[in-house]
Amino acid sequence: MVEFIDVMKRYPNGTVALKGINLKINKGDFAFIVGTSGSGKSTLLKLLMKEETVTEGEVIVNGYQLSTLVPKQIPYLRRGMGMVFQDFRLLPNKTVYENVAFAMEITECLPREIRRQVPMSLALVGLSRKANAYPHQLSGGEQQRVAIARSLVNNPALLIADEPTGNLDPENSWEIVKLLSEVNQRGTTVIVATHEKSIVDAMKKRVIAIDKGKIIRDQQKGLYGDED
Ligand code: ADP
Ligand code: ADP
């Protein structure tokens, strides 16, 4: 599903954010990417989404070799992956329903499909009754659930979450992590970058630890670890 082969990423200012990255994440896996701030987690996810391009090596996602992907193909890549961010990234002037529907509209889905799929996605995250609310009327945890509903509405094979609980209190963080775990149990591959030790330790999932741009540990049913 996801493969990094000898990846090095250097930003234009000379910062080497990742080096010597070899990594395979199989279909149906749930993996945490852990590490302190600045270790390279976001860069790894940006390479996956083709928001950034590798300096050396190759990233393969869903059968796409990202280094050779032309801009025209990027929407096809992104259609196969849901993305969730720390700051939710909802559209403030659209309702919950419209935020989720928008993800389908931009991929030119049929209105009939949208009317069927959006309520299903909202039901999955337990927010059917908030369909007509605006983001500012929701708690942080609810906003993140909307973002997850939106990320799933096109039935992606892969869900990528960058610090999804970073703006949430512990209780809401747990709700979000449980939800991501349910999504994984339904067959979606899930990759979560986080520096929240308590969550990682409790989940006993695969842990890929990054430090200063290198993978220092890759462990099934792992713990956050105390390297840092
Ligand atoms: P993390 O997500 O673990 O906090 P990042 O991937 O954001 O780490 O950052 C890894 C390193 O790359 C850091 O040293 C950071 O300052 C640097 N970096 C990130 N983005 C850029 C950029 N656009 N230009 C230059 N350096 C960057
Ligand atoms: P939190 O527990 O994250 O602090 P809030 O106290 O903001 O959450 O919200 C608690 C409940 O009240 C949530 O279900 C939220 O949707 C609802 N709510 C909060 N603000 C508004 C509002 N302006 N209009 C309608 N519902 C709201």
Joined together, the tokens standing for residue 93 give 């002037």
What would the pLDDT profile of 142-160 be if each residue is shown by its tens digit?
Answer: 999 999 999 999 999 999 9
Name the 3-class secondary structure at 219: strand
What residue owns the CA closest to ligand 2's atom 10? Answer: 139
Ligand 2 pocket, residue 134 CB under 6 Å: no
What's the alpha-carbon Rg for the chain, to the nearest Å? Answer: 17
The pLDDT of residue 228 is above 50: no
**Rounded to 5°, angle at Cα 79 from 148 and 3:** 95
Under the banding of pLDDT at 50, 70 and 90, the label for residue 227 is low
Tell me phi and psi for residue 57, to 5 degrees.
90, -165
Ligand 1 pocket list (CB less than 6 A): 11, 13, 15, 17, 35, 37-43
Exposure pattern of 196-212 as b/e (b: 16+ CB <10 Å)?
A: beebbeebebbbbbbbe
* Predicted TM-score (pTM) above 0.80: yes
CB atoms within 10 A of CB 223: 16
For 20-60, write each residue's pLDDT tens digit. 999 999 999 999 999 999 999 999 999 999 999 999 999 99
Average of pLDDT values for 154-168?
95
22: Cβ below 6 Å to ligand 2? no
Ligand 2 mean position to 139 CA, how many Å? 5
pLDDT tens column, 82-137: 999 999 999 999 999 999 999 999 888 899 999 999 999 999 999 999 999 999 99
**Which residues have a Cβ under 8 Å from the Cβ of 42 and sit 6 or more positions away?**
162, 193
Dist. CA 177 → ligand 1 center (Å): 25
